[in-house]
């Protein structure tokens, strides 16, 4: 069957159509993606009128793309930007009334658990105990465990878009703002580290998300064009070298780095500070980049509840 998963994220609205059935690897068939950067459109905690109009227009386009691709079902969900908006109920009501899409808002813990499921299925049981890190536009998800359900999952308001909008106004940013953000990030992460380390050291530390992929790419990892099955890593030493460089660059300079999209260039420094803080505080000398993340986790969970053909 062909499924469509509609991910209304803090950076991007992404409809991914996949051919899938229980017990098989989901095969991507079509991708519809628009960078809205909702995390940066929040005004005093609310999504403004223009942001809502743009969101509805984008969801309409995604629904049409899903229909054009013959999707039997559409699995629509929203993450941190909608979850944290003070007018979330009004936004969801307008989306439902004007597009017919009933967005399911994932909690931060659900987001972390579904991302963990995707990473577990990708790496398999031989990876042992996994620690999974995922930096989105609105939040940082952390999950740890040995089974398909993590023993511990947390979501922190440390997304690259959210932090950039709130704490890094300059271009390039003021060094004092960078120091303040670094301190804030590490304080927030340090509060949760003990909840994970009491379960023991992980056997494998994994990172997902566009932010980690871009950081790995500028540090020398293989291009996406080389395929899903090429192993990609990001070392802490490389990240430590790049953070001060990114802190002195303008957005225009960052967007010319390998693998960095124009829409994500502004957020890259904040994402790098979160990645560096998480890796240092969790004792990760390197992370392996997982191609699967939240969308694949949503698809896999849905397939698990379908009868085998």
Tell me which H or E stretch contains 76.
strand 73-78
Give the model's pLDDT for residue 194.
96
Per-residue pLDDT reduced to its tens digit, 224-242: 889 888 999 999 999 999 9
Q: How much is the mean pLDDT over the chain?
A: 94
- List the Cα angle 128/200/124 in 5-degree steps: 10
Whole-angstrom distance, CA of residue 309 vs CA of residue 305: 12
Backbone φ/ψ region at 251: left (φ over 0), alpha (ψ -120 to 50), beta: alpha
Instruction: Answer yes or no: are the C-beta atoms of 109 and 153 closer than 8 Å.
Output: yes
Let me know if domain 108-294 sits in CATH 1.10.357.10.
no
Give the model's pLDDT for residue 119.
97
- Would the pTM of this model clear 0.75, i.e. be above it? yes
φ and ψ at 306, to 5 degrees?
Answer: -95, 145
- Predicted confidence (pLDDT) at residue 309 exceeds the cutoff of 60: no
Q: Which of 85-89, 240-244, 284-288 has the lowest mean pLDDT?
A: 85-89
Give the model's pLDDT for residue 234.
97
Whole-angstrom distance, CA of residue 87 vs CA of residue 110: 21
Whole-angstrom distance, CA of residue 138 vs CA of residue 166: 11
Nearest Cα residue to 153 out of 190, 115, 106: 115
Give the model's pLDDT for residue 307.
66
Domain with CATH 3.30.420.40 in the chain: 2-105
Distances (CA, A) of 173 to 3, 38, 70, 249, 268: 42, 21, 46, 8, 12
Angle between helices 160-167 and 268-281 (to 10 degrees): 110
Average pLDDT in the 143-156 region? Answer: 97
Give the model's pLDDT for residue 306.
72
Give the model's pLDDT for residue 68.
97
The three-state secondary structure class of 237 is helix
Give the model's pLDDT for residue 262.
83
- Predicted confidence (pLDDT) at residue 263 exceeds the cutoff of 90: no
Give the model's pLDDT for residue 243.
98
Give the model's pLDDT for residue 36.
86
| Domain 2-105 class, CATH top level | alpha beta
Domain with CATH 3.30.420.150 in the chain: 108-294
State the sign of the Cα–Cα–Cα–Cα dihedral 294, 255, 62, 44: positive
Which residues make beta-bridge pairs with 105?
A: 78
Average pLDDT in the 75-96 region? Answer: 94
Per-residue pLDDT reduced to its tens digit, 22-32: 888 899 999 99
Give the model's pLDDT for residue 219.
95
Say whether the peptide bond before residue 47 is cis (omega within 30 degrees of 0): no
Report residue 261's pLDDT band, with 50, 70 and 90 as the boundaries.
confident
- Predicted confidence (pLDDT) at residue 304 exceeds the cutoff of 60: yes
Give the model's pLDDT for residue 308.
61
The 8-class DSSP code of residue 229 comes to T
């Amino acid at each position: 069957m062909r499924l469509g998963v509609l991910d209304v994220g803090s950076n991007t609205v992404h409809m991914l159509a996949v051919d899938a059935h229980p017990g098989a690897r989901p095969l991507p068939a079509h991708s519809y993606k628009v960078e809205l950067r909702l995390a940066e459109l929040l005004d005093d905690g609310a999504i403004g009128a223009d942001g809502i109009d743009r969101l509805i227009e984008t969801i309409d386009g995604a629904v049409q793309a899903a229909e054009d691709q013959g999707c039997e079902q559409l699995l629509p969900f929203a993450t941190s930007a909608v979850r944290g908006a003070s007018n979330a109920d009004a936004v969801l009501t307008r989306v439902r009334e004007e597009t017919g899409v009933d967005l399911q808002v994932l909690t931060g813990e659900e987001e972390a658990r579904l991302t963990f499921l995707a990473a577990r299925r990708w790496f398999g049981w031989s990876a042992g105990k996994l620690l999974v890190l995922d930096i989105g536009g609105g939040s940082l998800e952390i999950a740890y465990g040995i089974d398909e359900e993590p023993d511990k999952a947390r979501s922190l308001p440390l997304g690259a878009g959210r932090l950039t909008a709130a704490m890094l106004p300059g271009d390039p940013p003021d060094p004092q703002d960078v120091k303040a953000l670094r301190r804030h990030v590490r304080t927030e992460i340090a509060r949760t580290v003990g909840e994970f380390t009491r379960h023991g050291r992980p056997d494998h530390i994994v990172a997902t998300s566009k932010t980690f992929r871009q950081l790995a790419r500028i540090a020398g990892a293989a291009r996406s064009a080389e395929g899903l099955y090429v192993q990609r890593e990001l070392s802490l030493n490389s990240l430590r070298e790049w953070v001060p460089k990114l802190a002195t660059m303008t957005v225009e300079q960052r967007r010319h780095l390998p693998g960095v999209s124009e829409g994500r260039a502004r957020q890259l420094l904040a994402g790098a500070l979160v990645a560096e803080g998480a890796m240092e505080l969790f004792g990760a000398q390197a992370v392996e980049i997982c191609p699967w993340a939240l969308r694949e986790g949503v698809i896999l969970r849905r397939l698990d509840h379908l009868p085998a053909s």
